[in-house]
Amino acid sequence: MSGARTNTLATLRGRIERIEAHGDAYAPNKVPLGHAGADATLRGGLALAAVHEVFSEGHQSAAATGFIAGLAGRITARRPLVWVRQDFSDIESGALSMSGFSELGLDPHLLVTVRAADADSALRTAADALACDALGLVVLEVWGEARQLDLVASRKLTLAAQASGVTALLLRLAATPQPSTAETRWIVRAAHSPPGNPWHAWGAPVFDAQLVRNRHGPVGRWIMEWKCDECLFFEPAAYPQPVAAAPAHRPHQAHDGELQRRAG
């Protein structure tokens, strides 16, 4: 029995080594994000037909979701996108807004949302979707510490993405990063938006994006502004601080105050 177990263990180790060797030699196509610093670190952009993880901290789920939407806009502009999330996600982080996706530059008509009963169902649904090469992207959104998303599950998703050519984005909310075969891992926070035009109620989406894992290169951290019209990430320009102008209808008060100061 001990000999059989040894042979089985050796066989499994050999398979894992071949999988890892294949992953290291795998040279995927890449899509540039638009941000010069991030693209340089990623050696040309985000790898397609791979798995990427995006984590949020604290109450940053909206920022992480917006960052995922930006990545989706870069990866699949005209192909269907499947977004898998647990059925209680609407309570925890809010419902996905189709009008919001449209404002970010995505076509809601190409978005298919799937509500799974639990993490197991969500994982199976995402794996099945990754096998469909007609899709452009699969987003798997999982809330909390899901034991199902272990190293074995991550490797299966990676192999499925490589086989079909469909990219997978894992959105992890209220979770701690664990070992995985993901090509990249990001921690995303909201950053201050620059002042927009007077007729806009808010500025452009800006993210504090920290790349904490890069299988084939260094890591980094950048402030990335999402340009909805261009569907690109940019480095935010330096915006001067707004200064209140003097009231145009009361110039005499400033003049009178200056005279009083001189007299005193």
User: Per the domain annotation, does 9 fall within a domain?
Assistant: no
In the prediction, which pLDDT does 192 show?
A: 86
Q: Higher model confidence: residue 166 or residue 4?
A: 166
Domain that holds residue 148: 28-262
Q: What is the CATH number of the domain that holds 128?
A: 3.40.50.300
Model confidence at 253: pLDDT above 90? no
Q: What is the mean pLDDT of residues 4-20?
A: 55
Q: What pLDDT digit, counting tens, does each position of 121-133 carry?
A: 999 999 999 999 9
**Which pairing describes strands 137-143 and 81-86: parallel, antiparallel, or unpaired?**
parallel
In the prediction, which pLDDT does 164 show?
A: 96
pLDDT band at 58 (very low <50, low <70, confident <90, very high): confident
User: Per the domain annotation, does 34 fall within a domain?
Assistant: yes
Model confidence at 189: pLDDT above 80? yes
Q: Higher model confidence: residue 19 or residue 123?
A: 123
Distance CA 255, CA 264 (A): 14
Nearest Cα residue to 139 out of 225, 47, 71, 207: 71
Q: What is the mean pLDDT of residues 201-230?
A: 91
Q: What pLDDT digit, counting tens, does each position of 121-173 carry?
A: 999 999 999 999 999 999 999 988 888 899 999 999 999 999 999 999 999 99
CB 184 within 8 A of CB 155: no
pTM of the model: 0.78
Identity of the residue numbered 111: L
In the prediction, which pLDDT does 92 show?
A: 78
User: Per the domain annotation, does 12 fall within a domain?
Assistant: no
Q: What pLDDT digit, counting tens, does each position of 26-37 carry?
A: 456 999 999 999
Give the number of other CB atoms < 10 A from CB of residue 96. Answer: 18
Model confidence at 261: pLDDT above 50? no
Distance CA 99, CA 203 (A): 17
User: Per the domain annotation, does 229 fall within a domain?
Assistant: yes
In sequence order, what E strands does 109-205 have? 111-116, 137-143, 167-173, 184-190
In sequence order, what E strands does 117-261 have? 137-143, 167-173, 184-190, 206-214, 220-227, 232-234
User: Per the domain annotation, does 23 fall within a domain?
Assistant: no
CB 233 within 8 A of CB 224: yes
How many domains does the chain contain in total?
1
In the prediction, which pLDDT does 259 show?
A: 39
User: Per the domain annotation, does 53 fall within a domain?
Assistant: yes
The terminus-to-terminus CA distance of the chain in angstroms comes to 103
- 10 Å CB burial of residue 158 (0-12, 13-18, 19+) is buried
Q: What pLDDT digit, counting tens, does each position of 67-123 carry?
A: 999 999 999 878 999 999 998 887 777 888 898 889 888 899 999 999 999 999 999
- 10 Å CB burial of residue 165 (0-12, 13-18, 19+) is middle
User: Per the domain annotation, does 208 fall within a domain?
Assistant: yes
Identity of the residue numbered 101: F
Torsion, CA 56, CA 60, CA 64, CA 70, rounded to 10: -150
